[in-house]
Structure 1
Amino acid sequence: MKIRRRLLYALASMLTLAGLALAAPRPAFAAALTEVTSFGSNPGGMRMHIYVPDTRPANPAIVVAMHGCGGSGPGFYSGSEFAALADRYGFLVIYPSAMQEAGFGKCFDTWSAAAKQRNGGSDPVSIASMVAYAGQRYGGDQNRVYATGSSSGGMMTQHMLSLYPDLFKAGASFMGVPFTCFANAADYPPGGQCTGGSMNRTPQQWGDAVRQASAGYTGARPRVQLWHGTNDTLVPYSLLQESIEQWTNVFGLSTTPSSSDTPQPSWNRRRWADPAGTVQVEAYSIQGAGHSLPSTGMAAAAIAFFGLTTPPTTPPTTPPTTSACRVTAAVNAWNTGLTTNLTITNTGNAPITGWTLAFDLPTGQTVTGGWNASYAPTSGRVTATHVSYNANLAAGASISIGYQATHTGNSGAPTAYSLNSSTCTTG
């Protein structure tokens, strides 16, 4: 068994490296990948990198692109075509790095009980925090957020669509598995029932798992694109059908496709449309392919499915500026507690209607209450949002807000203030 596992690990590593060789060459003028070290609540202990194209609209769409087991965010950036497509179409790309060890190295947690609950903890909460940060820092449109990923990242794609249907508009899962396929950590590859080739639930059972994950949600569900190689033995091709059954049931559609075609040689595509004609589920069977997706052109097909193929017309901005501001902080600390008063000044020439102030809370501090604003989350990168009586901030005017917090020794003031995504000066 140990020999078999080592062989499987070596195979997975070789396939991952093969995928990294498929990226399109980047233009010389392209922006650089940037690491964000403090982006908010991070129970998964993950790393975040973001790619912000030089040319983009004021409120660009956000694509979360996730690597396979043993990979990393920077590796998926270098080895996939999503950043080059971001240069062309002007959307942001978040590249999370998984930090939890599984059968093939560091993988995204789709197995734990916490990860299967909305806001339950682990990697899903960390990824949702990254999306919120992209909105606060770069003006990313929270109504146009999309997920994609390969292998472990493809699994997390279907996972996030299940847990946060109100946040994600669509997803493209390469070599993934249905939501709740893994019973626990012991079920994760290699071995286990999910990827052992014997997983078979009814469409109703699969659909119920998604509905239970977001109980009470009645809004639109994210559209789903699925990709799998017919010769994939690491994540068996049979799991594509299980994913199809899950998502068609979620949409209340028959498992019989509305249409099928071959958009490229070896790409067999099936589509499931709702009564209005909108394709809600799309599945690609890649003939003869193993555990090696996405390959050339597949990222472009995913971006087209998301509806992000309109080039931006606005000039380069880094980052978008919506206001000018200054923040001063006054901390009063004792034992394990403190209060912090923040004075926000609009140093711009135009009034601000509706504001949010984001800042990094020092490590070990937790907000327990506040005044003149609402605060969320309670640690990490916190966002203070105006209340009804102080939503407007005239040019040259100031307002005071504050909070109470506990601390474990670090009673310092917050850092990295930004007002409506515009960086503020301090003092």
Structure 2
Amino acid sequence: MKFSIFATAMLIGRSGAALVSVSNFGDNPTQLQMSVYVPDKLADKPAVILAMHGCGGTGQQYLQQSGYTKLADEKGFLVIYPTTTHDNHCWDVASKKSLTHDGGGDSQTLANMIRYTFTKYGVDPAKVFSTGSSSGCMMTNVMMAVYPDLIVAASCYSGVAAGCLAGSPGASPSTADPACAAGRVVKTGAEWAAQVRAMYTGWNGTYPRLATWHGHADTFVSYLNLEEQIKEWSTLLDVAYVKNLTATPQTGYTEMVFGDGTKFVAYSAEGVGHTVPVHPQEDLKWFGIA
């Protein structure tokens, strides 16, 4: 397979670091755009983070919003910043194609971006992570469900459980069934887990570790969706609630710890609306990027 790349921006003047646009990363059934932030000095067998923008955004905008570039320069990891131009620039988290392993939807295109980094940059398959805000958080949940063979761990800001929008005519505020964002899609943990397992019926392994964040004052994607994510992933990861850690990682935030805290944690942000700001340092701790 031939890969075609070209640099679109020199983002760090003191180094050769760049946001590189990749025009041919493999099958691209949904015509997404791929850019990858490449630090001047890559670590040996580097980590890669798939970082996805919210509705109306772009990968380039999320590079600025997420704040990973300085850390990538320091630690030598890659960040994929994809862009969707469909459905008001929202990720497809609703169609059968996207909610099926190698089903031909956005999730497959994103998986192919990750696979490209294995060949091009020698990424360590044990160091593949996903994150995103709003629609990007929703797609992170989907990537965890549909590609647990690729994603090792994830963080997620102000989204919904994988499968919450299944069958909706779209995934943007103007096209989606409003029940999901309003927190009216309510299931048991077992029901959520069964829905996720049906997305990749051939998978018998473990699911990715998750740290998920939601603002208590979010009226756009209801805070009630945090409970549904908790039910879904605590069931899939087989961990029970243990304790709250107040003022963690900062004043106004509460960390809910499940099991021994290494597989699943959830953060509630008092007074925070849509979306919870990205916490890149906390993400790196969760991912284990030293």
TM-score of the superposed pair, with normalisation by structure 2: 0.90
Q: Establish whether residue 173 from structure 1 lines up as the match of residue 173 from structure 2.
A: no
CA–CA distance in structure 2, aligned partners of residues 169 and 268 of structure 1 = 24
Partner of 2:178, secondary structure, is coil
Aligned partner of 1:72 in structure 2 is: 58
Q: Establish whether residue 228 from structure 1 lines up as the match of residue 209 from structure 2.
A: no
Aligned partner of 2:77 in structure 1 is: 91
Structure showing greater radius of gyration is: 1
CA–CA distance in structure 2, aligned partners of residues 197 and 251 of structure 1 = 22
Q: How does 1:9-158 map to 2 (within 5 A)?
A: 28-30=13-15, 31-101=17-87, 105-158=88-141
Aligned partner of 2:245 in structure 1 is: 260
CA–CA distance in structure 1, aligned partners of residues 58 and 168 of structure 2 = 20
CA–CA distance in structure 1, aligned partners of residues 257 and 27 of structure 2 = 37
Gaps of 5+ in 2: 1-10
Report the CA distance between 1:122 and its aligned residue.
1.4
Q: Establish whether residue 284 from structure 1 lines up as the match of residue 270 from structure 2.
A: no
Contact 2:244 2:254 in 1 (8 A): no
The share of aligned pairs that are identical, in percent, is: 36
| Structure ranking higher in strand proportion | 1
Q: How does 1:206-355 map to 2 (within 5 A)?
A: 206-254=192-240, 256-263=241-248, 264-273=250-259, 277=260, 279-295=262-278, 298-308=279-289, 310=290
Contact 1:186 1:192 in 2 (8 A): no
Match of 2:185 among 196, 199, 205: 199
Contact 1:187 1:194 in 2 (8 A): no
Gaps of 5+ in 1: 1-25, 311-427
Moved over 6 A (4+): none
Compare 137-146 and 207-216 and name the one that shifted more. 207-216
1:231-278 deviations in Å (ceiling 9; x for gaps): 111110110010000000102223x334533221011111112xxx35
What letter matches 1:179 in structure 2?
A
Report the CA distance between 1:223 and its aligned residue.
0.2
RMSD (Å) for aligned C-alpha atoms? 1.6
Report the CA distance between 1:178 and its aligned residue.
0.4
CA–CA distance in structure 2, aligned partners of residues 126 and 294 of structure 1 = 26
Contact 2:157 2:275 in 1 (8 A): no
Report the CA distance between 1:47 and its aligned residue.
0.3
Aligned partner of 1:338 in structure 2 is: none
| Structure ranking higher in helix proportion | 2
TM-score of the superposed pair, with normalisation by structure 1: 0.62
CA–CA distance in structure 1, aligned partners of residues 166 and 147 of structure 2 = 20
Contact 1:154 1:173 in 2 (8 A): yes
Report the CA distance between 1:90 and its aligned residue.
1.2
CA–CA distance in structure 2, aligned partners of residues 299 and 134 of structure 1 = 21
Partner of 2:198, secondary structure, is helix
Report the CA distance between 1:108 and its aligned residue.
0.7
